[in-house]
Amino acid sequence: MSSEDHPSPKILVDADACPVAIKDIVYRTAKRREIEAIVVANQPIGVPDSPWVRGVVVSSGADQADHAIVKMVNDGDIVIADDIPLAARVVQKGGLVVGSRGDRYDEKTIHSRLATRDLMEQLRSAGVETEGPKPLKPKDVQAFANQLDRVLTRRLKNSPGEA
C-alpha cells in the first residue's frame, strides 16, 4: 500500500487552553517524526520556526477554534484537546483525541466521558460545588508524552481506524 492510501496523520492542537509544556512536546514530536502540527487559537501564539509546525489564528468567539479544528481534521488525525464536546466531534470524523494528562478519547471512550461531563455540568447548574481540574504535574506531562508516542506509532504503522 502506498503512502497516498494512508497519508501521515497530522496533529491539531486546541491551543487556547493548552499548557505550554504540552505544546512543547507536540513541537518536538512533530519535528522528530516529521509530521505536520497545526496549532489553532483565537489569538496569535508563538510557534517554533519549523517546516513541521504552523499556527492558525481564528476569529475570537465561543468555539471558533473548535469549529476550525473539526473542519481541518481528517480520518486518522490526532487532536490535542481537553474539551470533551470537541473530542466527540473529532471522534465522529474519525480522529483521535489525546488530552493534556494523557487521556485518550476514541469511539470506545468518548460517550462515557461526554455523559460524565454533562452530569457534572448539570450538578454545577443545580448549585452543587464541584472541583475544577487539578494543576498539571510532571507525571501528567509524561503520561501525555507517552500516550502521544503510542498513538502516533500505531497510526504510522496501521490504517487510521486501527489506532
Where does the pLDDT of residue 163 fall: very low under 50, low under 70, confident under 90, or very high at 90 and above? low
Note whether 93 and 12 are within 8 A (CB).
no
Count of alpha carbons within 13 angstroms of residue 112, beta-carbon side: 6
Q: Who wins on pLDDT, 23 or 108?
A: 23
DSSP 4-62: TTSPPP-EEEE-TT--HHHHHHHHHHHHHHT--EEEEESS-----SBTTEEEEE--SST
* 6: confidence class by pLDDT, cuts 50, 70, 90: low
Average pLDDT of 5-29? 90
CA distance linking residue 54 with residue 38, whole number of Å: 5
Confidence of residue 159 (pLDDT cuts 50, 70, 90): low
Q: Cell numbers of 101, please?
A: 494528562
pLDDT tens across 67-126, in order? 999 999 999 999 999 999 999 999 999 999 999 999 999 888 877 777 777 777 777 778
Q: What is the CATH number of domain 11-131+139-154?
A: 3.40.50
pLDDT in tens, 26-70: 999 999 999 999 999 999 989 999 999 999 999 987 789 999 999
- Helix, coil or strand: residue 125: helix
Q: How confident is the model at residue 2 (pLDDT cuts 50, 70, 90)?
A: very low
Q: Model pTM?
A: 0.85
